[in-house]
Amino acid sequence: FLIIGSSILLLSTFVLGVPIQGNLFLLIGEGILFIITSLTLGLLISTSTDSQQTAMFISLTGMFLPTVMLSGFMFPIENMPKPLQVVSNIVPARWFYSIVKDVMIKG
C-alpha cells in the first residue's frame, strides 16, 4: 500500500505538476494511519463473519460504497443532507481526503 501511494504521489507531483505545499512527512504519516484504520476495519469484518463471501459482501456494501459516496471525493459534504453529513463523520476516508487536500493544496 505504501508503494502504491508513493507511486501515485510521485506521478502526480512530477508528471501532472501537482504541488505539495505542506509537510511531506505529515502526508506520509496520515497515509499510514489511514492504511492501519482500513486494515483494522477489514480484519474486524473478516473475523466477525463465517465465510469469505459474506465478508466480501459486507465489505463491499457496508464499507466500500459508503466510503466512496460519503468521503467528499465524489460529492461535496456540504451539499449532502444533514443526516448523511453526520454519517460521513465516521468514514475514515473523509478525514484522509480532507487532510490530503489540505496538505497538498493549502500547506
pLDDT confidence bin for 26, thresholds 50/70/90:
confident
Q: Residues 6 or more apart from 72 whose CB is under 8 A from it?
A: 88, 94, 97, 98
pTM of the model: 0.75
What is the rounded average pLDDT of the residues 16-39? Answer: 86
CB 28 within 8 A of CB 37: no
- Please count the structural domains in the chain: 1
Instruction: For 50-62, write each residue's pLDDT tens digit.
Output: 998 999 998 888 8
- Cell numbers describing residue 71: 468521503
Instruction: For 39-53, write each residue's pLDDT tens digit.
Output: 898 899 999 999 989
Domain coverage including residue 47:
2-106
